Amino acid sequence: MFNPMGFPVKREERFEMSAIPDSASVGVPPRNMVFDHEAGEKRLPFFDGNVLTNMMFVVFSGVFPDGERFFLDSVRAFRAGIEDPTLKARVSGFIGQEALHSREHERLNKVFTERGITVGVAERMIGGALAVLRRMPKRQQLAATIFMEHFTAVLAEQWLTDKRFHATTEPEAMKLWLWHAVEELEHKSVAYDVFDAIGGTRAERAEGAAVVMTVVIPTLFAAWAIVFAREARIGDLRGHLHGLGILFGRGGFLTGVFRRLPSFLRRRFHPNDHDTTALEAAWREKLFGDAGLLNDEFRNKAALAA
């Protein structure tokens, strides 16, 4: 299938193309980005080539396609009952953004596979974990989604602000992650607002978080350990300790992410309590402005501006 803008869309990635101007007007524009994943450094482009940190990014990319399809399916299940037209437009934008993220990470994962990196381990393992979640009631799936969206929003902010990540990552490899990060922040409250619209409760939120923490997060780390073990040089203990420090040391890439996850359980939690509007605006200009870093990859800019 081809949509009116000329790029192929899988069955599970279809969204209302006629709704794109509406979703753009409410701040959730699905940007059709097509990246050259063969460009730049061939194997270890992140954090100055550290194998441990690089395999974390491989695992992130491996879990995103199925993970984001789970997100959009859980939101789509309640879309028909949404009466607020603004939220409906935001939902359409959310579905479009997540579908395009899934597509680009699938393309990147194929490149990883061609280079002999075992990203398929992460793909298979997260598929099994999400199969467990898909057996839950639809409301509980949505509750799990809003916790995972909280995680990805905090992670996205880290992608945009971590100075060591920017200073030591190959520029071509970083493009996808910057685009993905901006859009994660743009739609970070959509699933939550759908959950709120259907009368979701704090108890359901807590149950969703508990399921993710006991099923999905351990699967992610197990996949990382397996992929790392297959790629790492056994004798490079110093390098591996350095990688652990990058991710989990004081001020580490993931340290602050996990520190902020418990805020999800606050009684009056909302994703927009942590204001990222200025950060989003700054990066939209850097990436998609008149001299934007990603304008060559941005295939539907004219349609979104219409």
Please say if the pLDDT value at position 4 is more than 50: no
Q: What is the pLDDT of residue 20?
A: 55
* φ, ψ of residue 33 in degrees (nearest 5): -105, 135
Nearest residue to 60 (alpha-carbon basis) of 164, 159, 135, 131: 159
List, as one string, the DSSP characters of 254-305. Answer: THHHHHHGGGGGSTT--GGGS--HHHHHHHHHHHHSTT-TTTTTBSSHHHHH
Q: What is the pLDDT of residue 19?
A: 47
Please say if the pLDDT value at position 128 is more than 80: yes
d(CA 259, CA 279): 20
Please say if the pLDDT value at position 86 is more than 70: yes
pLDDT tens per residue, range 52-69: 999 999 999 999 999 999
d(CA 20, CA 304): 7
Angle at 188 between CA 247 and CA 191, to 5 degrees: 125
Identify the band that residue 18 occupies on the pLDDT scale cut at 50, 70 and 90: very low
d(CA 73, CA 134): 10
Q: What is the pLDDT of residue 304?
A: 87
Please say if the pLDDT value at position 9 is more than 60: no
d(CA 195, CA 271): 12
d(CA 234, CA 240): 9
What is the residue extent of each domain of the chain? 11-305
High-pLDDT (> 70) share of the chain, %:
93
| Protein fold of 11-305 | Ribonucleotide Reductase, subunit A (1.10.620)
Residue entry with tokens 């993905």: 180
d(CA 165, CA 155): 12
